[in-house]
Amino acid sequence: MTTSPEINAERLWADIMTMGAIGATQGGGSFRPALSDADREGRNLFRYWAEEAGLVVTVDAIGNMFARREGTDPSLPPLMIGSHLDTQMPGGKFDGVLGVLAGIAVIRALDAAGVTTRRAIEIANFTNEEGARFQPGVMGSGIFAGVLALEDALSRKDDDGAMLGDELARIGYSGPLPVGGRAVHKYLELHIEQGPEMEKAGAMIAAVSNSSWGCSGFIDISGENGHSQTAAMSTRRNALVAAAKLILEIEAIGAENEPAGMVSATVIRNWPNNRVNIPHLTKLSYVAVHATEEGRAKIIDRIEAAARRIAGETGLTIDATTSHYRQRLDLSPELAGQVLEAAERLGYTSMMLPTLTSHDALSMTHLCPTAIIFVPCRQGISHSEKEWCEPDQVTAGAKVLLEMAMIAANEV
């Protein structure tokens, strides 16, 4: 006898808090960078909960984990639900984690109700979505979808020189399976919004329509080394001074583009980084995003123009390059409509939104129809120890995810 599946809200919340305790920070967040010891512990806990729920867990060569509940027709490509368990340094308890653990909550709900599905359902934990330790981000899903190369990813190094492939092996998650190369029916990802629009609108659920135009910029500033206590001020060629000027310029450009676009300098590295030496080399990087391709191009042009001007003013050499371009991607309108319909059935206020940030779901658009379900986060804060999502918001997202899963997993 079957009953209507129901999300166990208390268990899901407890799971999120328990996962958040792995790598817990004093500020209330989590510190689980990709392939760290804490990431291994989080992966092990996910595996335990998945196997406890009767799922078969497999791991591929980039460390992506898949927990599978078989369907009545194993020949059909599976429905995939997922996100990631790695965090920023530090990050919060919900970014990525919500999408993975809500997937397990969906499976538990189906099992408790005695409900079978035509298609298998796989819960995915994708490797290194954040890109905090190893670049680029959205790595595991990108390789799975065929838009990034496995060998290039395995050779990436972190700031301490540790190689990604070696770290995968060290934590025991260099899996035997090939990455990707198989069909997926549809992909669903539940995520916090990472912005303030839902909170402003009073919406409990959002369906994501499309991504934005993004890129990363890298700026090298070359000056001249010298003694910080003896070199004449009039002759100093301090790379750090030019960097400071450019950082302020980039921030002003970002402020002028809000809300359609944003940009900030986010990384600075300085050599020799010695108290008694004038810096001869400073490296900056920034991340830019805009709702339009033209807007992104204008941001880049303005930053490069500022770099040329500051180079002229200081007499230093400034080289600016841009990479990691992310083009706009449109998610499935059909699935977005289903998200809104499910929210209405469940009595939740809803809206359509674009996403400014990257998600594993954007990689998966290259393979199959994809949906992102947003729930609000307090004041739009994410990538922060202050990141927070209320229990009723978590539950609402999981209920919509369950509705979506039951539809997609039973399609012919």
Binding residues for Zn(2+): 84, 95, 130, 191, 383
Question: DSSP letter at 132?
Answer: S
Distances (CA, A) of 248 to 243, 263, 333: 9, 11, 40
Q: Which two tokens stand for residue 243?
A: 């960097």
Whether 82 contacts 361, CB under 8 Å: no
What is the rounded distance in angstroms from the CA atom of residue 41 to the CA atom of residue 32?
Answer: 9
User: Is the bond preceding residue 259 a cis peptide, omega within 30 degrees?
Assistant: yes
Query: Sign of the C-alpha dihedral, residues 179, 135, 294, 256?
Result: positive
Question: Which single residue is written with the structure tokens 């595996």?
Answer: 47
In the chain, the amino acid numbered 293 is: E
What is the rounded distance in angstroms from the CA atom of residue 150 to the CA atom of residue 318?
Answer: 33
Query: Sign of the C-alpha dihedral, residues 66, 71, 77, 80?
Result: negative
Task: Name 112's Cβ contacts closer than 8 Å, sequence gap at least 6.
Answer: 5, 6, 8
Annotated binding site: 84, 95, 130, 191, 383
Whether 360 contacts 189, CB under 8 Å: yes
R_g over Cα of the chain:
23
